[in-house]
Amino acid sequence: MAGSTGRFITLEGGEGAGKTTQSALLTQALIERDLPVLRTREPGGSPGAELLRGILLDGGVDWAAPAETLLHFAARVEHVAKTIRPALDADTWVICDRFFDSTMAYQGYGQGADRGFITGLTRLLGLAPDLTIVLDVSETVAAERMRRRGNPADRYERLDEAFHARVREGFRAIATAEPARCVLLDASGDVATVHTALMTVVWRWFRPAQGSPRIAG
Ligand code: T5A
């Protein structure tokens, strides 16, 4: 954001790619460098958006894809207005687990919602991440991680293999189409290996562009 020294980083990818794990580690690494950091997630991240999260994940409704798209964007508009923008305005780094690329991958590629419609909503939002890291794992690795974790599956996790393959293809296509914002990262290694690779991306991304001595790797 112009004038702010905060940065907006999103982590994206399919189920079990390791976003939650890596966003916690990234947040900790930034805090250790004395940077102000806010960690948040979607759907959710503000009171209204958390209400919509409950409806979307466990509400028991099989939404039409355009309606589901709008619900995700309604939650996102709240999240941006109440949480993300105020943090960036206060020069805080924002680490967000999922953002608008998830709507393109899940509702667009996965559920067949019109991608032009999603692109239009994304433009209206008026905010894009400075960096998006797409964590990429095969369906086999993802399924094994989810099985080991053992939590009850939400509505999206219960969708079939073909759906999750389309979601992965969507994320890969987004990363390829937007190299100025996105980096596709192989996330199939162990937690420490992926964290090291992710931190390398973050330091390289911001150091030359911003020239900030505060984030020297
Ligand atoms: N959604 C969301 C949409 O459809 N449209 C949208 O616009 C948005 C914003 C959110 C759901 O909503 C959908 C997508 C999602 O289905 P959620 O509960 O927030 O649901 O779920 P996810 O974001 O998918 O989070 P998950 O927890 O399922 O996956 P993560 O965060 O990618 O993975 P993580 O870190 O929790 O790890 C999963 C397991 O693997 C282990 C962890 O310990 C954990 O047990 N693990 C590893 N194991 C080995 N090696 C590694 N490198 C590992 N990294 C993690």
CATH number of the domain at 202, please: 3.40.50.300
Q: What is the DSSP letter of 214?
A: G
What's the average model confidence in pLDDT over 190-200?
98
Identify whether 53 is part of a domain. yes
Question: Is residue 104 scored above 50 in pLDDT?
Answer: yes
Most confident by average pLDDT, 59-68, 147-156, 186-195: 186-195
Q: Which domain holds residue 109?
A: 8-210
Q: Is residue 101 helix, strand or coil?
A: helix
**Which of 75, 88, 78, 186 is CA-nearest to residue 128?**
88
Query: Number of structural domains, the chain?
Result: 1
In the numeric block, the tokens 């991240």 are attached to: 45
67 lines ligand 1 (CB under 6 A): no
What's the average model confidence in pLDDT over 146-162?
84
Question: Is residue 73 scored above 80 in pLDDT?
Answer: yes
Positions of E strands within the chain: 8-12, 37-41, 93-97, 131-136, 182-186
Dist CA 25 CA 194 (whole Å): 10
Identify whether 215 is part of a domain. no
Q: Which one has a higher pLDDT value, 154 or 55?
A: 55
190 lines ligand 1 (CB under 6 A): yes
72 lines ligand 1 (CB under 6 A): yes
Mutate to test the pocket of ligand 1, among 15, 28, 168, 199 (most ligand atoms within 8 A of CB): 15
* Ligand 1 nearest atom to the CA of residue 99, by list position: 9
What's the average model confidence in pLDDT over 142-166?
87
Res 212: pLDDT:
45
Mutate to test the pocket of ligand 1, among 100, 145, 171 (most ligand atoms within 8 A of CB): 145
Identify whether 216 is part of a domain. no
43 lines ligand 1 (CB under 6 A): yes
Identify whether 2 is part of a domain. no
Q: Is residue 119 helix, strand or coil?
A: helix
Identify whether 217 is part of a domain. no
Q: Using an 8 Å Cβ cutoff, are 33 and 215 in contact?
A: yes
Identify whether 136 is part of a domain. yes
CA of residue 2 to ligand 1 center, whole Å: 31
Identify whether 98 is part of a domain. yes
The model carries a pTM of: 0.94
Of all protein residues, the one whose alpha carbon is nearest to atom 10 of ligand 1 is: 43
Dist CA 53 CA 59 (whole Å): 9
108 lines ligand 1 (CB under 6 A): no
CA distances (Å), origin 74, targets 33, 81, 140, 156, 216: 34, 11, 33, 18, 37
Identify whether 205 is part of a domain. yes
Tokens (6 digits) for 67 = 């309606």
CA of residue 146 to ligand 1 center, whole Å: 8
Dist CA 23 CA 137 (whole Å): 16
CA of residue 211 to ligand 1 center, whole Å: 33
